[in-house]
Chains A and B, each alone.
Chain A
């Protein structure tokens, strides 16, 4: 379901975290669905199981999955996920606003663009 980009300098476990986050937020993986076991994912991707373990721990810490002892990892209910994603997007927007300001570009250029694209999306 996911694949690792070895040319990307971001650590492998971070790639796993972000790819699964993506799948969960987009509802490709639905709440209550079982995540692949650490062992099977490690075999499938040919990577260290400890790396998968770390990624899962991080996904759990961020609230995307939960662990049932003896049964495995499952996708969490996503009532908060959309909000979290929204917050992430707004944060990126903040960064873009700063760039816009620094570049001397008018904010109205951004708002016009958003309005014109709003109809298409």
Chain B
């Protein structure tokens, strides 16, 4: 487990990360969502022990991580702009990383290079941006670390590559209990793969919850009420977070499980009604509106 407690990081007067508390359990995919400048990369850098927090502490499997090789060895950080030796090729990178990470698997590395069609002797400087990202992912997977931190990794990959990487992550999770931490501003992507999701905004964590719990706890009802009395009845029965209507069609966001809500709906006189699942974006918007943030302005295109 990666345990983040009371983490704060300031750059002069700018507070990049503000009192963050998060626990990342092994075997779970943790998604870190936030807009640009929310503090995701800064937080990830502190998580892998290369940046020192101003306040608070981070432990990896019980060991404090900052500047601690024993703990750092368990983590691989894939930066959003991967760094390679300026004149190096994939073989040079392997030689370096296999020195740094004791668990590095050379055979796996070269096998993956071949699978992805990357030439091991070609200068990395001549790789395309996507290929550089692919190489970074391959180095991460071959290092066989317990944790992989991905900083907007999927954003630079084409759809085929994305599926391939997800598939490899799934394999490693199944085979050796890899714990991926994925930072992104693409909700749609995270929605499909994450178990737990944390929303970071202006350095602070707005919420950090199990994805399914979030989805099970909120439902969207679209309905047309038979009459005013039915409408009033609905208002009293449901725990309504949000209410919108277009003409006679009401869209209500309510708290509760799907079956519970469906049962309650049976008691209301409706001309038409439907219970729909909420997308991750809708859930975030609802949850953060409750807290007081108008997240619609903050979440970028999905």
- Which B residues are CB-close (under 8 A) to A10? 277
**B289 at the A interface (CB under 8 A):** no
A48-B29 contact, Cβ under 8 Å, with A9-B277, A11-B277: yes
Look across to chain A and name the residue whose beta carbon is closest to the beta carbon of B165.
Answer: A46
Q: Does B81 contact A (CB under 8 A)?
A: no
Within 8 A of B (CB), among A1-43: 6, 9-13, 37-39, 42-43
A44 closest partner in B (C-beta): B167
Q: How far is the CB of A36 from chain B (nearest CB, A)?
A: 12
B164, B193, B195, B276: the one contacting A9 at CB < 8 Å is B276
A13, A37, A42, A54: residue with the most chain B Cβ atoms closer than 10 Å: A42
Interfacial chain B residues near A6, Cβ < 8 Å: 192
Q: Is the CB of A39 within 8 A of B277?
A: no
Determine whether the beta carbon of A50 is less than 8 Å from that of B27.
Answer: yes
Do the beta carbons of A48 and B195 come within 8 Å of each other? yes
The verdict on A42 contacting B276 (CB below 8 Å), with A11-B212, A47-B193, A102-B271 known, is: no
> Is B113's CB within 8 Å of the partner chain A?
no
Would B215 and A49 count as touching, CB distance under 8 A?
no
Tell me whether A42 and B192 are in contact (CB under 8 A).
Answer: no
Of the listed stretches B123-131, B170-178, B240-248, chain A binds B170-178
Q: Which residue of B lies closest to A42 (CB)?
A: B170
Q: Mark A45-77, 1 if CB is under 8 A from B, else 0.
A: 011111000100000000000000000000000
> What residue in chain A is nearest B174 (Cβ atoms)?
A39
B215 near A11: Cβ-Cβ < 8 Å: yes
Whole-angstrom distance between the Cβ of B23 and the nearest chain A Cβ: 16
Q: Which of A11, A39, A47, A50 contacts B166 (CB 8 A)?
A: A47
B28 interface neighbour in A12, A13, A50, Cβ under 8 Å = A50
Is B173 a contact of A49 with CB atoms below 8 Å? yes
Number of A-B contacts (CB under 8 A): 53
Closest B residue to A54 by beta carbon equals: B212
How many chain A residues have a CB neighbour from B under 8 Å? 19
* List of B residues within 8 angstroms of A47 by Cβ: 166, 170, 192-193
Contact with A along B187-223 (1 / 0, CB 8 A): 0000011110000000000000000100100000000
A106 CA to B175 CA in the complex, in Å? 59
* A48 touches which of B164, B194, B215, B279 (Cβ 8 Å): B194
Contacts of B166 in A (CB 8 A): 46-47
Contact B170 A9 (CB under 8 A): no
Report the minimal beta-carbon distance from A92 to chain B, rounded to whole angstroms. 14
Give the docked Cα–Cα distance between A85 and B100 (Å). Answer: 57
Q: Which chain A residue has the least Cβ–Cβ distance from B164? A: A46
In the complex, chain B residues whose CB is within 8 Å of the CB of A43: 167-168, 170-171, 174
Q: In the complex, how many angstroms separate the beta carbon of B212 from the nearest chain A beta carbon?
A: 7
Cα separation A37 to B174 with both chains bound (whole Å): 10
- Asked if B193 contacts A48 (CB within 8 A), the reply is yes
Is the pair B174, A12 in contact by a Cβ cutoff of 8 Å?
Answer: no
A49 lies within 8 A of B276 (CB): no
Complexed CA–CA distance, A16 and B209 (Å): 23
Answer whether residue B163 sits at the interface, using C-beta atoms and an 8 A cutoff.
Answer: yes
A49 to B26: give the CA distance in the assembly, Å.
13
Q: A11-B277, A48-B193 are in contact. Are A42 and B212 (CB under 8 A)?
A: no
**Bound: A54/B167 CA distance, A:** 18
CB distance from A121 to the nearest CB of B (A): 29
Within the assembled complex, what's the spacing in Å between the Cα atoms of A37 and B173?
13
Least CB distance from A15 to B in Å reads 11
Chain A residues, Cβ within 8 Å of B174: 37-39, 42-43, 49
On whether the beta carbons of A39 and B195 are closer than 8 Å, the reply is no
Cβ A42 vs Cβ B171 within 8 A? yes
B110 to chain A, nearest CB (A): 20
Q: Which residues of A contact B (CB under 8 A)?
A: 6, 9-13, 37-39, 42-44, 46-50, 54, 102
